[in-house]
Amino acid sequence: MGRLTGFMEHVRETAPRRDTTIRLLDFKELYCEANNEHLKNQASRCMDCGVAFCQSDYGCPVTNLIPEWNDLVCDGRWKQALDRLHYTNNFPEFTGRVCPAPCEGACVLGIVDKAVTIKDIELAIIERGFKEGWVQAQAPKSRSGNKVAVVGSGPAGLAAAAQLNQQGHNVTVYERADRIGGLLMYGIPNMKLGKDIVARRVDLLAREGIEFVTNADVGGTKSNAIDPLLLKQNNKAVLFATGATRARDLPIDNRDLNGIHMAMEFLTTSTKQLLDSNQEDHNYISAKDKRVIVIGGGDTGTDCIGTSIRQGAKNVVNFELLPQPEEDRSADNPWPLWPKIFRVDYGHAEAHKKYGRDPREYCILSKSFVGDGEGNVAGIKTIDVAWSNTNGGWSMEEIEGSEKLWKADLILLSLGFLGPEQYASRPMGIEMDENSNYRADYQRFETNIAGVFAAGDCRRGQSLVVWAIDEGRRAAREISHFLQ
């Protein structure tokens, strides 16, 4: 390694972020650029650990060559570090911003100390590459003549398209929205992933020869619909990378009241109107001056919190059904498994700054929505629950007398997803698995229909951007084998 004793000489210090008070005034990205000395010191903490669990099955799904580019950064060899990073990851500018970094959870140094700041270094490498002009469009030298259709332009679809295009195939990506990017464009808010960053990569892919078609709803019924059977007929192979967009609902009393929305509907309309008109036309779900309750945690719940605050919410509360995690790993959650510990994400920190407290309320079960008598939501009734572990299984029990009415003007449901919408695949007769995802083996990615493949969240279920990139790359390899 660049400095064998670096992990003893330097403590973990994450890259700086914009001041919380300032960043709440806009939707600009959270991140600040770290100086070279800071990055070299942090990269030097990477140990000569022998077995790099950070890039193992427990760590990075795309098997990033983390020790190699840490060593190169430590030595100031940024161009070589970029080459090693792009060797395994098509879009490090995305994962460097939004990935929860399972690699850091599996870092060997994390056994006895705080893990290496792998995610920060990854982001610094790719942004240095763009700044120096090292990242350039590279069109393939020849074309195979094979046409491949990719349905969906999220991280899985884009990764597959990038790989197939480099192999010389003619790739067309179909996206039902008005902008390319899928989850990256409309599912993740600007402060976590700037849309100029997404557009920058999409423009690069277009210059490399990939064709993008927006407002193209494969299997839809409106004027922008595309017949999936014709799509299959006109292409040698078709890849479904549509994501897991069927959101889990909360079917309790008075669900039909106005002011109760799915989280992704809230986030999508906010981002779209921010891009279209800087939210001046007010054609979006607004949290301004409202008491907001976000039901469900995870990244999407945090994004709802951060977006609500920026829109001017009067207050934000976040319901969590499960208990608050412990500060340290439990006995049944050993290294190198992903640490299930208490974390404070950007939205939680911002809510604490704005309202004086962490927004999360744990062990809360929603019982019924409450209306104002005019069809609008006015609150929600809940009850506290207690969790117990008997015979290795967790069970939940309602606590008598703990009922409570929470006032609310806007309630956002962030309860996860139940698989892909099936109207695009149904005409082809694609089989679904027991979890309502497209049935296709991880190693082959081909569905029960020859020449039709599936990758990403629509195949594996709701997951991480980095897993979507992994599946897109692997599916591209299998599609290329099929075409040969």
* 463 vs 62: CA distance, rounded Å: 14
Taken in order of first residue, the domains within the chain and their CATH numbers are 6-132 (1.10.1060.10), 147-245+418-483 (3.50.50.60), 260-413 (3.50.50.60)
Residue 326 to residues 322, 323, 339, 390, Cα–Cα distance (Å): 12, 9, 10, 19
Whole-model pTM: value is 0.95
Show the DSSP H helices in 133-237 as ranges.
155-166, 195-207, 228-233
The string of DSSP codes covering 270-308 is HHHHHHHHTT-S--S---TT-EEEEE--HHHHHHHHHHH
DSSP character for 319?
A: E
Tokens 């572990």 belong to residue: 389
* 206 vs 135: CA distance, rounded Å: 14
Burial class (CB in 10 A: 0-12, 13-18, 19+), 255: middle
Question: Which stretch of DSSP H or E encloses residue 212?
Answer: strand 211-213
Give 242-256 pLDDT, tens digit per residue.
999 999 999 999 999
Axis crossing angle, helix 78-88 with helix 118-132, rounded to the nearest 10: 110
Which amino acid type is present at position 380? Answer: I
Q: pLDDT value at position 2?
A: 66
For the record, the structure tokens of 68 come out as 């190699």
Tokens 């309860």 belong to residue: 415
Q: Supply the mean pLDDT for the chain.
A: 96
Would you write out the chain's pLDDT as a tens digit for each of its 484 residues?
668 899 999 999 999 999 999 999 999 999 999 999 999 999 999 998 989 999 998 999 999 999 999 999 999 999 999 999 999 999 999 999 999 999 999 999 999 999 999 999 999 999 999 999 999 999 999 999 999 999 999 999 999 999 999 999 999 999 999 999 999 999 999 999 999 999 999 999 999 999 999 999 999 999 889 999 999 999 999 999 999 999 999 999 999 999 999 999 999 999 999 999 988 888 899 999 999 999 998 999 999 999 999 999 999 999 999 999 999 999 889 999 999 999 999 999 999 999 999 999 999 999 999 999 999 999 999 999 999 988 778 899 999 999 999 999 999 999 999 999 999 999 999 999 999 999 999 999 999 999 999 999 999 999 999 999 999 999 999 999 999 9
- Inter-residue contact 287 to 311 (CB < 8 Å): yes
Helix, strand, or coil (residue 166): helix
For the record, the structure tokens of 213 come out as 């078609």
- Inter-residue contact 204 to 165 (CB < 8 Å): no
- Inter-residue contact 79 to 134 (CB < 8 Å): yes
